[in-house]
Amino acid sequence: MNEKESRLNRKNEKFANNGWDTAQFDVQTWLERAPWRTLRDTEYGVKNNAPKPHPALWEDKLVSEIYKIDLATFLTAERISMSGISKLVSCAPDEASSVFLATQAADEARHFEIFSRRLADFDVGPEQRNEMMKKVTTPEMQKFYDLIAEQVDREDFAAAMLSHNIILEGMAYPVYRYESAYWSVFDPQLSAMIRGAFADEVHHVAYGEAIMRNYTAKGDKTRNTMSRLAKNFRMLMTEVFESTIDHYVGLYQLAADNYMDEIGDIQIFPSRKMRDVTEKEQVEILMREVNLECDKRLARIGLL
Ligand SMILES: [Fe+2]
Ligand SMILES: [Fe+2]
């Protein structure tokens, strides 16, 4: 046993413990998982030797358009996260939560920067990017984002956490998993960026579950309010996906069809290849996965 282990008592609590598992959510954990592991030797999470993007991203108008639509859509969600989570740092229920949310705010800011950087790499500057973000936000998506922001503005921590770290971040699981596969041939670097953001979202959801169990365990009226809010979000999520199918799926199908010999072998879902699943079916499968994962998560935190 070295001197550090014998004299310093690392088992003593450093923050007041409110009854949830705080150990995995401190700054030390964040350092070990993000800067020292997933981000080491990378620029924006991408290793120097990662394969370059496909020429179609510059030369094919259709592919370039859907690529930018996707980036702009990621950015709308990351912007909501960055602004919401940074506000929540100041109304968190305990020290461990404030510290965790400060690390999450840094993650969300990084995600926002990464995808903004990527659009700039493809000549979409800040002004045009903001225009695109407005354009890709369907009315249904706006309703969904507004309901999230409303919980933060009311400074209702439990409702805001349910909105951000269970509902919105939970969607990132299937969506980012799908998107990183989707772009794996056209832009392996973007795939790496998405996988990096996905790994962070998994950690954010883990905190969301840990802290939400603390609220729902009380069994008081907070639980009923949460249940109602969760139901509301579930409905809105379906509307968001349906509006996406209506607006964009034709465009994606056209773009994909022209490159099927190159992208057809992508495993877009486990044991399903891109060439065998239409874009419409892809979004429908994705929607089912989002709803399934959401329900599993709601059940785990005692809201279903
Ligand atoms: Fe994020
Ligand atoms: Fe997140």
| Model pLDDT, residue 3 | 56
| Model pLDDT, residue 6 | 76
pTM confidence score: 0.94
State mean pLDDT over 98-106: 98
Measured in angstroms, how far is the CA atom of residue 108 from the centroid of ligand 1? 4
Measured in angstroms, how far is the CA atom of residue 242 from the centroid of ligand 2? 23
Measured in angstroms, how far is the CA atom of residue 123 from the centroid of ligand 2? 26
| Model pLDDT, residue 1 | 52
296, HSE (Cβ side, Cα atoms, 13 Å): 10
Burial 245-264 (b: 16+ CB within 10 A, else e): beebbeebeebbeebeeebe
Measured in angstroms, how far is the CA atom of residue 63 from the centroid of ligand 2? 27
What's CA 142's distance to the chain center, in Å? 17
Tokens 């060439």 label which residue? 275
Measured in angstroms, how far is the CA atom of residue 160 from the centroid of ligand 1? 15
Nearest ligand (C-alpha, residue 204): 2
Residues with C-beta atoms within 5 A of ion ligand 2: 169, 201, 204
State mean pLDDT over 232-236: 95
Measured in angstroms, how far is the CA atom of residue 168 from the centroid of ligand 1? 9
pLDDT above 90 covers what percent of the chain? 77
Nearest ligand (C-alpha, residue 104): 2
State mean pLDDT over 157-164: 96
User: 279 — phi, psi (to 5°)?
Assistant: -60, -40
| Model pLDDT, residue 214 | 86
Measured in angstroms, how far is the CA atom of residue 255 from the centroid of ligand 2? 30
**How many C-beta neighbours within 10 Å does residue 140 have?**
19
State mean pLDDT over 233-259: 90
Domain edges within the chain: 54-300
Considering the domain delimited by 54-300, tell me its CATH architecture.
Orthogonal Bundle (1.10)
pLDDT reading at 228 higher than 80 = yes
How high is the mean pLDDT of the chain? 93
3-state secondary structure of 272: strand
State mean pLDDT over 153-178: 94
Task: Note the pLDDT tens digit of each residue in 197-225.
Answer: 999 999 999 999 999 998 888 777 888 89
Confidence of residue 240 (pLDDT cuts 50, 70, 90): very high
Measured in angstroms, how far is the CA atom of residue 61 from the centroid of ligand 2? 31
| Model pLDDT, residue 25 | 94
| Model pLDDT, residue 5 | 64
The H-assigned helical ranges of the chain are 3-7, 27-33, 56-59, 61-88, 95-121, 126-136, 139-153, 157-161, 169-182, 188-216, 221-257, 260-263, 279-300
State mean pLDDT over 126-154: 97
Measured in angstroms, how far is the CA atom of residue 99 from the centroid of ligand 1? 17
State mean pLDDT over 239-268: 91
Measured in angstroms, how far is the CA atom of residue 203 from the centroid of ligand 2? 8
pLDDT reading at 2 higher than 70 = no
- Find, among 59, 63, 65, the residue nearest to 258 by Cα: 63
Burial 208-235 (b: 16+ CB within 10 A, else e): bbbbbbbbbeeeeeebeebbebbeebbe
